[in-house]
Amino acid sequence: MAKVLSEKFYAEMKKLEPRYPTKVALLLPALHAAQDELGWLSSETMEEIGSYIGIHPAQVKEVASFYTMYNLKPVGKYHLKICTNVACCLRGAYDVVEHTEKKLGIKVGQTTPDKQFTLHEEECLGACGTAPAMMLNNDYVENLDIRKMDEVLAKLGVKG
Amino acid sequence: MPKCTIDGREVEFKAGENLIEVARKVGIEVPYFCYHPALTVVAQCRMCAVEVEKMPKLQTACSTPAAEGMVVRTNSERAKQNQKSIMEFLLINHPLDCPICDKAGECDLQDNSYKYGDAYMRTSEERRTYLDLDMGPVIKKNMNRCIHCTRCIRFGTEVAGIHEMVAVQRGNNTEITTIDGRPLETDYAGNYADICPTGSLTLKDFRFHKRAWMLKKTATVCEGCSKGCNMEIHQDNNVIHRTVPRANPEINKYWLCDEGRFNYHYVVDPKRVTAPKVGAERSTWHAAVAEAKARLHGKKVVVLAGTDLTLEEAKLLQDFVPKAFPGSALLHFGTPGIETTAKDAPADKILKRKSKTSNLNGFEKLGIKPLESMPAADAILVVRGGRAQLPKVEGLSNVIGLGVFTESESASFAAVLPGTSFAEKDGTIVNYEGREQRLRRAITPVGQSKALGEVLMLWLHSGAAKEAAV
């Protein structure tokens, strides 16, 4: 089977390996590295990680599906994760979610047809002091409201 | 020995035994789902929680080792209330499809619900539902019935040695599955259905064949290899519907491999010869025995006996052969390449062994020699129980089959005298370590098949020998 993961990935794993007591402990960082590289975790990716670590691919899937921050479906170029836990919810996070859904023309959990945006609800981001908050790929955007969301989306090239 | 008190009764225990095992010693039942004596303890179903004096909360009996002076109450109000609540939780998402579920009648969830649960439920929400994924040729999954006990996952990793059954997602959405619904790889997949406490994992082979309470059970031994795993034959109306493992901590623990589990099929195979045959034609017992005797009369005969026969049958042959064919050799056959017990070895790390017949050791004990190369002979009498692999006898004209054969196996035989399989007779087999175990007759012989002793009596006492000699 053709390899999905790059030499860079394997080099990084080599570097990380001495940090952990067992090779199985490398699973979470390996999944993170693979997701950074490919954007999401396909069955082929998980299979390759499984054979690299020496565990059954089902075991990789078990772990990857447990944690919500691993994407098991392809995501768009910009991945919006809006927090809807108590603090953000009270400060209007659901209004922002609804507005964003309308603006992008997708529902939570979906990706725009042009593969640019994916929208997800997120559990607490630990930014309750600046609620509502969201993650745009790996960056925080805080003190959200509809106007600020519009600005963010405009910067990313969404018209109107 | 240390002692503890359970429900007011003093019980002796060995250090390390948990409360479920200790309570069982005095006949006190603690209900449980996720606990299994051969698997690690996870204490996640919470059904077995009992009250222990001086402990503020209920303790799960499966994960609490008994201690000196411990006072346990398994049926206190709190414990009972807990059982009721757990049953209610588990049944929130469990469908009420017992009437069409194969597990009904032998289902832990059903039994415990009846005994410890409430007949009414307070929820009216829709139940969570899943599409069923295929799990290969052995197991059919119905995720709706699952209660997340993870026995199957632990069986896979701890016994079968393969982590193919997994729990994906989490919390209420947890789903037991193989990766993308791939077929199960292990040769021990049938056990998944046995240890499932609900009808979530069922055997495709048994699905919708028979209700569990209609089956008559016979304790016997598997004849699939020289291991001698203990099992039960379940039959109704002389039809075997399934075989299941019977616990024996010294041999097979609680397990059975798929090869042994589905081995019984040849007994009811429509291609099995169950009426006497002369050439390709169905015949009568009288005519077939006469034909067989005529074919072997005055020839240089070799008698081949399968190592799937019992000790008693082998002994009968040992007495019969010198009488019927003086000077003839009696040789045994079974698994190509494994002619002696010295060549027998474990075939995997769990149960299977290389000798694919049950009684190789017994034949050696009786001093019967193995068939290494076919000796020069004008006629051959093949006797076998149905599992031993036939040596090459095609091309020889005077071959008589006595025992269990299929139509195609016996196509070149001059005559077939149908005999009995392991499920149709009593007898003793000796496993690889010299352990003598009894096969028990579960069903009456299929069709016109006769036990070996009866056939040999017919042979010796029918007058046909004189006619044929003339």
pLDDT tens, position by position, B363-414: 999 999 999 888 888 899 999 998 999 988 767 788 999 999 999 999 999 9
pLDDT tens, position by position, B237-253: 999 999 999 999 999 99
Would you tell me which residues 355-394 of chain B have a C-beta closer than 8 angstroms to some C-beta of chain A? Answer: none
Q: Of A46, A56, A66, which has the smallest distance from its Cβ to B163's Cβ? A: A56
**Length of chain B counted residue by residue:** 470
Q: Do A58 and B163 touch (CB under 8 A)?
A: yes
- Distant-in-sequence, close-in-space partners of B463: CB < 8 Å, separation ≥ 6: none
Where does B186-265 have alpha helices with state H? 190-195, 258-261
Q: Of A43, A61, A66, which has the smallest distance from its Cβ to B170's Cβ? A: A66
Confidence class for position A68, pLDDT limits 50, 70, 90: confident
Amino acid at A143: N
Query: How many CB atoms neighbour CB B128 within 10 A?
Result: 14
Q: Tell me the helices (H) and strands (E) count for chain A, helix number first.
A: 7, 4
- Distant-in-sequence, close-in-space partners of B262: CB < 8 Å, separation ≥ 6: B190, B205
**Residue A11 pLDDT more than 70?**
yes
Q: What distance in Å separates residue A58's CA from the closest CA in chain B?
A: 5
Least confident of B89-103, B172-186, B347-361: B172-186
Which chain B residues have a beta carbon less than 8 Å from that of A46? 179
CA–CA distance from B200 to each of B121, B128, B181, B279, B333 (Å)?
Answer: 21, 14, 15, 49, 42
pLDDT score at A160: 67
Q: Could you tell me which of A79, A78, A99, A87 has the C-alpha nearest to residue A145?
A: A99
| Residues paired with residue A2 on neighbouring β-strands, in sequence order | none
Q: Do B163 and A55 touch (CB under 8 A)?
A: yes
In A, minimum Cα distance to B165 occurs at A58
Interface of A with B (CB under 8 A): 43, 46, 55-59, 61-62, 65-66
The structural domains of chain B, ordered by start, are: 3-91 (3.10.20.740), 96-212 (3.30.70.20), 277-469 (3.40.50.740)
Q: Do A61 and B168 touch (CB under 8 A)?
A: yes
Where does B63-107 have alpha helices with state H? 77-92
pLDDT tens, position by position, A110-160: 999 999 999 999 999 999 999 999 999 989 999 999 999 999 999 998 876
- Distant-in-sequence, close-in-space partners of B96: CB < 8 Å, separation ≥ 6: none
Give the Cα separation of A132 and A142 in Å (integer): 6
Q: What distance in Å separates residue A63's CA from the closest CA in chain B?
A: 7
pLDDT score at A1: 63
Q: Distance of alpha carbon B75 from its chain centroid, rounded? A: 36
Q: Which of A27, A51, A59 to mutate to test the interface with B (most CBs of B within 10 A)?
A: A59
Q: Do A58 and B169 touch (CB under 8 A)?
A: no
The structural domains of chain A, ordered by start, are: 7-66 (1.10.10.1590), 78-155 (3.40.30.10)
Q: Do B166 and A57 touch (CB under 8 A)?
A: no
Q: Do B179 and A66 touch (CB under 8 A)?
A: no
pLDDT score at B456: 94
The whole-model pTM stands at 0.90
pLDDT tens, position by position, B67-105: 999 999 999 999 999 999 999 999 999 999 999 999 999
Would you tell me which residues 216-245 of chain B have a C-beta closer than 8 angstroms to some C-beta of chain A? Answer: none
Buried b (16+ CB within 10 A) or exposed e, B240-279: bbbbbbbebeebbbbbbbbbbbbbbebbbbeebbbebbbe
Q: Which of A27, A45, A62, A67 to mutate to test the interface with B (most CBs of B within 10 A)?
A: A62
Per-residue pLDDT averaged across B318-343, rounded? 92
Which chain B residues have a beta carbon less than 8 Å from that of A65? 168-170
